[in-house]
Amino acid sequence: MPLDPVTWAVLLRCLDHRAGLNTANPHVIVTKGTKASRAPASTAYLSHVLDLCGHSPRANRSTRLVDLINTLDPKVVAADMGLDTQAPLIYLADRIDPGRIDTLSSGAGDQS
């Protein structure tokens, strides 16, 4: 699955932070509470870590899915994310490709 530049930058920052903690915890996100163990960060931690910036994990996931589904093959995204093959359809419902609008409005789409 390709990562966009912002996601890649955030992942690198997480890995740099993790390296500075000098931990054997194998997870990307390590907290003060999980530094000394091998446990993942809690769901509660992850659901509130973005509170200050005003973005929920759910909104970030949905935005990422919309971008992936509209730029890649929806079936590939569904398989990679462990979704039902019909799940990506809800993300395509309100998507209009601006290139197609320009083509149709210029008359190039006419079949007459």
What is the value of pTM for the model shown?
0.49
Quickly state the pLDDT bin for 112 (edges 50, 70, 90): very low
Q: What are the structure tokens assigned to 31, written together?
A: 């907290």
Q: Are residues 31 and 66 in the same domain?
A: no
Q: Are residues 28 and 7 in the same domain?
A: yes
**Domain around 32:** 1-49
Task: Give the pLDDT mean for 80-94.
Answer: 78
Quickly state the pLDDT bin for 76 (edges 50, 70, 90): confident
For residue 39, the model assigns a pLDDT of 92
Distance CA 38, CA 3 (A): 26
Q: Are residues 9 and 43 in the same domain?
A: yes
Q: Are residues 57 and 41 in the same domain?
A: no
102 located within any domain: no
Q: Are residues 21 and 56 in the same domain?
A: no
Burial class (CB in 10 A: 0-12, 13-18, 19+), 106: exposed
